[in-house]
Amino acid sequence: MKESKGVNNMQVANSKKKGTNKAIVSAVKNRGQAKNSKNQLLKKIAQYERRDLFMEMRTSYMGLEHEDAQSRLEEYGPNIVASQQPTPWYKMLAHAFINPFVLVLLFLAAVSWATGDHEATIVMVVMVSFSVGISFVQEYKSQQAAIELKEMIENTANVKREGEAKEIPMDEIVPGDIVLLQTGDMIPADAILLTSKDLFINQSSMTGESYPVEKRILDDLDEDEQVKWDEIDVIDAPNVLFMGTDVLSGHGEILITKTGAQTMFGDIAAKVTGSKGKTAFDVGLTKVSRLLLGMVAVLFPVVLGINWFTKGSFMDAFFFAIAVAVGLTPEMLPMIVNTNLAKGAVALSKEKVIVKDLSAIQNLGSMDILCTDKTGTITEDRVVLMEHVDPLGNDNNDVLDAGFINSNYSTGWKNLMDNAVIEYFEKQERVEPYENIKKVDEIPFDFSRRVLSVVVKANGQNLMVTKGAVEEMDDISTHVMIDGERVKITPERLEQMQAVNLQMNLKGMRVLTVATRILTEDELEDFDQSMERDLTIVGFIGFLDPAKESAKTAIHSLQEHGVTVKVLTGDNAVVAKKVCEDVGIPVDHYLLGTDIEQMEDEDLFKATKDTHLFAKLNPMQKARIIDLLRAGGHTVGFMGDGINDAPSLRAADVGISVDTAADITKDASTIILLEKSLQVLETGVIEGRKVFSNMMKYIRITLSSNFGNVFSVLVASAFLPFLPMLSIQLLTLNLIYDISQLTIPWDHVDEEELAKPVKWGTQGLGKFALSVGPISSIFDITTFIVLWFVFQYNTPAHQANFQAGWFAVSLATQAMAFHILRTKKLPFVKSRASLAIFLSTVGAFFVGSLLNFTALGGLVNLSRLPYVFYAWWLLIVLAYIVLLQIGKNFYYERLLKE
C-alpha cells in the first residue's frame, strides 16, 4: 500500500428537534437503532461456508478475471463515498446568488432596465457581480485546494486477480475482489475474512474502543468461542471487516462484499455530508436581512405614492422610488460580509488554519461554548510511563525491570503502553536485570484475557512475566512481593493494593499489574493460557497521556474571552477529571454516558449549564449534548478528529477537525487545523469578533442612515414642488458612499469589542436607528430650510441648486457618520479609524468636490453653488457631528441598558 491511514467512523444517530415551553429544542432520541438490512445481509453472508461464499459473490479463490472486474466497476461504480464527491462549480455559483439582498437588487435592476433607467441597472449589476464573485472565488479555491491535497495521496490495495496479486487504486476495487492484507493496510471496503495469522484490526472508528480487535475465520474459533449470531451486532463478528478500519498487525486475505456507498462507511458518509443545518451566523444574518428588506418593502410604495400624488408624474415618482429603494437596500452587505470573512480566512491561514466555510469565522467570534475531546487536544496524544511502584505504592525498580522484560521480548502487537515502558527504561539508562536473557515463549495479548505473558530463560530458570489489567491480574494471582518477601494475598493486602490503584487512578493514570512465576520444564512443554495462574504480583505501572503545556494557557485565554470549554470524551471519568484539573477546566462533578441516557432533554439541558466534563460518552450522546446547547441559545464549537465525531461536527455551529482526520470528518467540519491545538482557536475567536464588529458597523450605520434619509425624503416629497434629489443623483450618492465602505474589513476594532462573544440578531438595532437616525433628518431639514429661505432655491427653476446643496451635505454627513458610529468611544481621540478608512473618507470627499466644483457635476445634473454656501455647509456638518456623538452616547449609556 502506498499510503495508509487509520480513520475513524461511527454509526450516525438520527436526531431531530422538539419544542418545549422553555425554547429547548433537542435532537431526536433514537436510542434504539433499527438493524440495517445491509448489516443483516452482511451478517448472513458471514456465516456461509467458503464454497457458498464464493458462489454468492460470483468469484473464486484465484480472484476475479480482469474483464469481469471491469464490468463490475461499471456496474457498481468506483469505490468512493459521498464525502469524496466535489461540488460542481455551477452549483457553487448558483449558491452565491441565493442571497436576499442579491435577489432584491437583481429584481430592482430588471425593473430599472425594463423602464429604461439603464444607469441604475449598471450600478446594481456591478454591486451584485462583486458580491457574488468574491463568495464564489473563495469557496471554489477552498475546494480546489482540498482536491489537490487529496490527489497527492493515492491509496492502493494489494488485490488478487487471475491468481496474481498487484497494487491497484482503492477506488477500482469491486465486490468479489480478494484483497491481501498486511500490517499498516487500510481495509478498502466491507469484507469477509478468508485467512488470517495474528490479524489485529484497529476498529475504533466503528466502535469507539481504542484497543485492537483480533479477526479470525470461524473455523479457527474454539468451541466456547462460537458466535451467537442472534445476539451480536455485525460489527462484533470475528470474520467481518469494514471499510475505514486498518491493520495493526498480522496478515490475512479478505473477500470484498460491498463497496463505496453500499458499505457501512458509505452509509455514514451519506448521512454526515448532507445539507448542514443553519448556524448562528445564518440565523442572525437572516433576521437582519428581513429587518432591512422589510423597511424597503414598506417605504417603497409610500415614497412612490407621496411623490406621484404631489408631483403628478408617475414615471418620475417611480424612478425616484426605485432610487430610494436602492438607497435603502444595503446592497453592499453581501460584499462587506464576504470581504470581512475572506479577510478573516486569510488571517487564519497564516496561523495554519484552513477555513472551508467562510461563515465559520464569524461563528467562531460568537462561540460561547467550545466542546472538545480530550485526547490530542488538551493532552499530548501519547502514553508516558509515570510511576512504577510495589504493591504498597513505593517506587520500585524491580517492577520496571519486570515490565521491560514483558514488553521488550513480546513479538506480537506492541501497544502504546509497551512502547512507553521500553522508552522509559532506555531513557533511565537501565540495564537488563539478568545476563544472557533468552526468549522462550509467549502468549500474545488478546482482549478477552487482557493480559500478555512472556517466558524468558534467565539465571537458569524459566521466568514468566505477565502484565495486564488490574482486575484480570487479581483473578490469576495468589501471592504478592512485599519488601522482597513472597506472601499470600489476603483480603487486607488486596484492599491495600486496591487503595494504591485508586490513588494512581485519581492522578489520571491507567494502571497495569506486573506479576511473575517460575515454570518447570514440564510446564514449559505444555505452555498455554492455563499456565497463567498462581502468579506473584511484583507491583504496578502507571501511565498517563499528559496534558499539553500549551493547553492551560489556551483554555485560560478562551475563558477570559467568554468561551466556556467543556470536555466530551469516551474515556474514563477519573482520568479525564485529572486532565481537566491540570488544564484549568473546573470539574466539581461530571456526567457519564449512562447518566445521560436516563435523562430527559430538559433535565440534561439544565445539567449542561454547570457541568464541564462528560465522560464515557458514545457519539450519539455527544451530538445530543451539542444540539441541546445550541437549542438553548448558545453558539457551540466542537473539536474532534474521528468519523465517530462527524455528527457532532455537523451539529455544531463551528466544526473543527485536523488535517490528519478522515475525509468524512473533514467534510463535516467547517474549519481544519494543520496543528491539533487549542492555542490557534484563540486567534480564530478574536478574528471572528473583528469580523462581526466590522460587519455590524456597516449594518448599524446603514440602518440609522437609511432611517433618517427616508424621513427626510418623505418630508421633502410632501412639501417641495420638485424632487429633493433626482434618481441619478441618489444612485451616485449611494455609489460613492458604498465604495467608501469597502474598506470596513480593514478597520480597527476596539479591545472592548473583542472581550466577549458576540451574537447576530436585530436586538438593539431598532433603538439604535431611532436614537441616531432622526439626527440626520434634523440636519437634512435644516439644510432644506437654509437652501429654501437663505438662498431662495424655492422654485422648480432652482431645483438643480437645491439638489446640489443637499447632495453636498448628505455626502459629508454620511461620511462623517461612519467615524462617529464605528466606535462606542470618543472618535478621533480615544478610537481612531484605520488608514484605509481614513483614505476612503478622503476619497469620498474628493469625488464629491469634483461633482460640486467642476463640470463633472453636470453629468448628474448638479449645479455649482456659491462659496458662501460652504460656510453654512461646514456649520451644519460640525453641528451634526456633535449632536450625533451625544445621541450615540445616550443610546449606549441609557437605552441599551434598558
- Are 519 and 464 within 8 A, CB to CB? yes
Report the C-alpha gap between 39 and 33 in whole angstroms: 12
Task: Judge residue 882's burial from the number of C-beta atoms within 10 Å of its C-beta, 0-12 exposed, 13-18 middle, 19 or more buried.
Answer: exposed
Q: What are phi and psi of 456, to 5 degrees?
A: -125, 155
Report the C-alpha gap between 295 and 706 in whole angstroms: 9
Report the C-alpha gap between 211 and 220 in whole angstroms: 21
Pairing mode, strands 485-488 and 477-482: antiparallel
How does DSSP classify residue 789? I
Please list, in sequence order, all residues whose beta carbon lies within 8 angstroms of the beta carbon of residue 609, skipping any fewer than 6 positions away.
none
Please list, in sequence order, all residues whose beta carbon lies within 8 angstroms of the beta carbon of residue 831, skipping any fewer than 6 positions away.
748, 750, 822, 823, 825
Q: Which of 375, 373, 378 is nearest to 645 (CA)?
A: 373
Report the C-alpha gap between 630 and 651 in whole angstroms: 9
373 as an active site residue: the answer is yes
Q: Which of 635, 764, 769 is nearest to 708 (CA)?
A: 769
CA dist 777 → 81, 126, 316, 800, 880 (Å): 59, 29, 23, 21, 10
Torsion angle of the four alpha carbons 373, 377, 378, 381, in this order, in degrees rounded to the nearest 10: 100
Helix (H) or strand (E) holding 892: helix 869-893
Report the C-alpha gap between 672 and 356 in whole angstroms: 7
Q: What are phi and psi of 534, to 5 degrees?
A: 50, 40
Per the listing, cell 526468549 goes with: 439
Amino acid 894 reads R
Of 246, 368, 373, 738, the catalytic one is 373
Q: Which of 9, 569, 571 is nearest to 246 (CA)?
A: 9
- Are 712 and 777 within 8 A, CB to CB? yes
Torsion angle of the four alpha carbons 847, 849, 850, 851, in this order, in degrees rounded to the nearest 10: 90
Q: Burial letters for 357-396: b for 16+ Cβ neighbours within 10 Å, e otherwise?
A: bbbbbbbbbbbbbbbbbbbbbbbeeebbbbbbbbbebeeb
Helix (H) or strand (E) holding 139: helix 118-151
Report the C-alpha gap between 862 and 736 in whole angstroms: 15
- CB atoms inside a 10 Å sphere around CB 334: 24
CA atoms within 13 A on the CB side of 179: 33
Q: Which of 684, 562, 689, 703 is nearest to 281 (CA)?
A: 689
> What is the distance, to the nearest Å, from the Cα of residue 341 to the centroid of all Cα atoms in its chain?
16
> What is the distance, to the nearest Å, from the Cα of residue 876 to the centroid of all Cα atoms in its chain?
50
- What value does the CA radius of gyration of the chain take, rounded to a whole number of Å? 36
Please list, in sequence order, all residues whose beta carbon lies within 8 angstroms of the beta carbon of residue 629, skipping any fewer than 6 positions away.
369, 371, 605, 608, 636
Per the listing, cell 430538559 goes with: 602
Beta strands in 259-383 (DSSP E): 353-355, 369-372
Catalytic residues: 373
